[in-house]
Amino acid sequence: MYPCADFIAANQGDRADNVIAGNDKQAHLEHLRKDIRDFKAKNKLDSVTVLWTANTERFTEVRAGLNMTADDILGAIKRSDPEVSPSNLFAVAAILEGCSYINGSPQNTLTPGIVELAMKHGVFVCGDDFKSGQTKLKSVLVDFLVSSGLKPESIVR
């Protein structure tokens, strides 16, 4: 099992195969920040946008001392609070590196503290699900089939 396993649906655990080892969330944050800096330097980019398209996480708690303020979320990361989700870490890493962050899944990544942190750093953050992947594909496919004169009665996986 991996450090943030409780944020991933039980049927998705086997797919989570690219994880940062250990339970130190501050170390994970620094690892992600370094990855962003290295990517930016290697590709000689002026700006980077981090786009979260990983599996949907369960909702994280939203409460004082955890993520209601920028200081809360930074403190929660420093003490490796178990309620700091992987998408929270990616969002904070992006913000601290001056990169925009777009959340493409329906979890509550952009808590008040993360939004405040983004505002303090003048970084753009947005998103709470852009129906990527299978849902979008099914929507487009059904529209295509109907306009082709076919009437699907069911689409199952």
Angle between helices 70-78 and 25-42 (to 10 degrees): 110
Q: What is the pLDDT of residue 134?
A: 59
Separation CA 56–CA 129 (nearest Å):
9
Phi, psi at 9, each rounded to 5°:
-60, 145
Put the strands of the sheet holding 49-52 in their side by side order.
49-52, 100-103, 125-126
**What was the pLDDT predicted at 1?**
45
The whole-angstrom distance between residue 104's C-alpha and the CA centroid of its chain comes to 7
pLDDT digit string (tens) for the chain, length 157 residues: 455 667 777 777 777 777 788 889 999 999 999 999 999 999 999 999 999 887 778 899 999 999 999 999 999 999 999 999 999 999 999 999 999 999 988 889 999 999 999 999 999 999 877 665 556 666 777 788 888 888 777 665 5
Q: What is the distance between the alpha carbons of residues 44 and 88, in angstroms, rounded to a whole number?
A: 26
CATH of region 5-126: 3.40.50.720
The ranges of the chain annotated as CATH 3.40.50.720 are 5-126
